Chain A
Amino acid sequence: MDHLVIVPVVLPLLTGAVMVLVGERRRALKAALGILSVLLVLAVAVLLLRRADSPAGAEIPVLRAYLLGNWPLPFGIVLVADRLAALMLVLTSILALAALVFSLARWHRAGAHFHPLVQFQLMGLNGAFLTGDLFNLFVFFEVMLAASYGLVLHGSGILRVRAGLHYVAVNLAASLIFLIGVSLIYGVAGTLNMADLAARMPGIAGKDRALLEAGAAVLGVAFLIKAAMWPLGFWLPTTYAAASTPAAALLSILSKVGICAVLRLWLLLFGAETGASAGFGGAWLLSGGLLTIAFGSIAVLATQDMARLAGASVLVSSGTLLAAIGVGQVAVTSGALFYLASSVLSIGAFFLLIELVERNREVGADVLAVTREAFGEEEDLGEEEVGIAIPATMAVLGMSFMGCALLLAGLPPLSGFLAKFAMLAPLLAPAPAVNGGVPGTSWALLAALVLSGLATVVAMLRAGINAFWVPADGMVPRVRLIEIAPVILLLLLCIGLTVGAGRAMDYMQATAQSLHAPQDYVRDVLSTPRAGEGGGG
């Protein structure tokens, strides 16, 4: 058994713990430790991704299951690095790297314990993606949420505390709902291991099935609160708009955790092979996703400041993903996964960009006021920093903004368009089983995707005109290289995703196929040998 799978969980944990011991004064050391740890996690994640993608029958097994504590399955707890988990690990660590580098310009000085919180956040996220056990999923959710409470409040200020209070209360209630769902499922099925649960699904007796479905639905509500499905997502735009910039960028992946959990568990428990309850809840996901897209699009059009605009686009992307997952076709799911990768990167870039664009703007910049509070001395500090020459700064910011707009709205030529195309093409190609053309839900999803794209274009254009095409009066934002570099990195990765779309789509297709046909997952996880019994130690 090799220990690579546990590294993305243990490394941030240890780094965070060491950072707490190092103390508040030595920021440079903590920053160096943090960057090093994130880079290592990124390297491990890429390694896991390459391994997960190796074709079946290679000498390295496709699925890396890791028995924590070396107890035999299904009694022990397990981490599983399959394709979906590896993909999410890579995305998380890229986003964390960008946010961390961005924060080094000044945000990490805005309050205590920023660096350890980022590490614990990373640990919770990685664990939540990797775990193959329902209760461990709960534990990692809590680690992730506890760190996110700290990050939301980072920098303090009335706005953040007010938004944070709602965020904490909503998530504590969601955690309780999560526990009810988990215990209901345990009460009926008698196991918490996801693979074992999937294996037992067809054998659940008819009268217990309703109870199990109720448990799964309750659990689903907890995930959908995280994923901010309408009407459970009202907390999201306010919280993300109030959070400090790097924290908001990092938190934007939290909604994707809920979506990944839904995707994995729904297809495991209610996939095509699970007997009587196959497809349970699919209509709810689809219609909930459509409603979320509608609500998100209205929110996108209605918002005046950019931070809330970014929050609203998180809603739109959540809705798009949920609706696409709810369709329940392999090809649509693979398109949705491509969309997921593209939207994580572009929304992260947009959150980081907003602060740079809105810096030095006086009107209506509530968040900036909070920033000022936290940085009494920022004005004098800013004078010393070497800014990039004026026209270049505006040009770079403007180009990045345009890139974000194209990505978020899903316009050609960037990856946002390819993602939407990948979702829509299989929807409109009538499946052989359905004779008589395209079902109405597909048209609804098509309309929702196109209209939400239109709403995003309108809103982004308006925001862009307000930010870039007004007489600046010499108020060009001072932007340091270390702040714009992460934005450009994220956008370049999106361009890379566009150029390498063929390979990326192959990967997504393989991921979607293994998610939709989880027999291999179940068999591989349950047959994982204990260390010392085979496979060597």
Chain B
Amino acid sequence: MELILALGIGVFTGSGVWLLLRPRTFQVIIGLSLLSYAVNLFIFAMGRLRVDAAPVLGQGGTGDPARFADPVPQALVLTAIVIGFATTALFLVVLLAARGLTGTDHVDGREREP
């Protein structure tokens, strides 16, 4: 599982960075989204990978903490997803405004001179 997760984060980050450096605004926004997936998985992995372990303690007492997953990274991921979602939506609006005002989808607002 560690290998799959690490590969997944790597692939997401690689494609995200590549797209982020592309000249079209749509590529940039997809790149940012992929990067945020990678980051969310990364935060999740920082709480250690546990299978079949609940992050919430059972009713009546704490029991053995070793049997539970770390709840903090999961809460962080949730917050990061929400915030990332909102800022991506905001970026989308700016992107559309730029497309409308400049008439091109180049990130600099003008096509490169040939």
Contacts and interface: CB of A to CB of B under 8 A. Distances in A.
Interface residues of B, number: 33
A68 interface: no
A156 B91 CA distance: 15
Contact of A168 (B76, B80, B90): B90
Interface of A: 135, 138-139, 142, 145-146, 149, 153, 156-158, 161-162, 164-166, 168-169, 172-173, 175-176, 179-180, 182-184, 186-187, 192
A145 B86 CA distance: 12
B46 A168 contact: no
Interface string B93-109: 01101100110000111
Contacts of A153: 94, 97
Given A139-B79, A176-B36, A183-B73, A161 B94 contact: yes
A163 to B, nearest CB: 9
Contacts of B91: 168-169, 172
Nearest to B76: A135
B90 A162 contact: no
B46 A187 contact: yes
B28 A158 contact: no
Q: Which among A164, A168, A182 has the greatest number of chain B C-beta atoms within 10 A? A: A168
B76 A183 contact: yes
Contacts of B98: 161-162, 165
B97 A161 contact: yes
A165 B107 contact: yes
A24 to B, nearest CB: 18
B94 A179 contact: no
B60 to A, nearest CB: 20
B30 interface: no
A138 to B, nearest CB: 8
A216 B9 CA distance: 20
Contacts of A169: 20, 28, 32, 91, 107
B80 A173 contact: no
Contacts of B102: 158, 161-162
Contacts of B20: 169, 173
A162 B105 CA distance: 11
Nearest to B38: A176
Nearest to A153: B94
B87 interface: yes
Q: Is the interface of B mostly helix, strand, loop or mixed?
A: helix
A186 B46 contact: yes
Contact of A183 (B46, B88, B109): B46
B94 A183 contact: no
Contacts of A176: 32, 35-36, 39
Contacts of A165: 25, 94-95, 98, 107, 109
A149 B90 CA distance: 8
Contacts of B88: 172
A182 B84 CA distance: 15
Contact of B80 (A146, A162, A172, A179): A179
Given A162-B108, A165-B95, A192 B72 contact: yes
B42 interface: yes
A209 B45 CA distance: 19
Contacts of B108: 162
Interface of B: 20, 25, 28, 32, 35-36, 39, 42-43, 45-47, 72-73, 76, 79-80, 83-84, 86-88, 90-91, 94-95, 97-98, 101-102, 107-109
A161 B101 contact: yes
14 contacts: A145-B87, A146-B87, A157-B101, A161-B94, A162-B101, A162-B102, A165-B25, A165-B109, A169-B91, A172-B87, A176-B36, A180-B42, A183-B46, A186-B47
A142 B46 contact: no
Contact of B97 (A145, A156, A166): A156
A166 B43 contact: no
Contacts of B25: 165
Given A156-B97, A183-B76, 6 more contacts: A145-B87, A158-B101, A169-B20, A169-B28, A169-B91, A176-B35
Nearest to A159: B109
A142 B95 CA distance: 19
Contact of A184 (B36, B46, B94, B97): B46
Contacts of B47: 186-187
A142 to B, nearest CB: 5
Contacts of A187: 45-47
A135 B46 contact: no
A175 B45 CA distance: 18
Nearest to B95: A165
Contacts of A157: 101
A172 B80 CA distance: 12
A521 to B, nearest CB: 23
B72 A186 contact: yes
A182 B43 CA distance: 8
9 cross-chain pairs, A with B, having the tightest CB-CB distances, nearest first = A187-B46, A162-B109, A183-B43, A183-B46, A158-B101, A161-B98, A142-B83, A176-B39, A179-B39
Contacts of A168: 87, 90-91, 94
B3 to A, nearest CB: 18
A179 B42 CA distance: 9
A399 to B, nearest CB: 39
Contacts of B101: 156-158, 161-162
A135 B83 CA distance: 12
A138 B83 CA distance: 10
Given A158-B101, A165-B109, A168-B94, A173 B32 contact: yes
Nearest to A75: B72
A164 B46 CA distance: 33
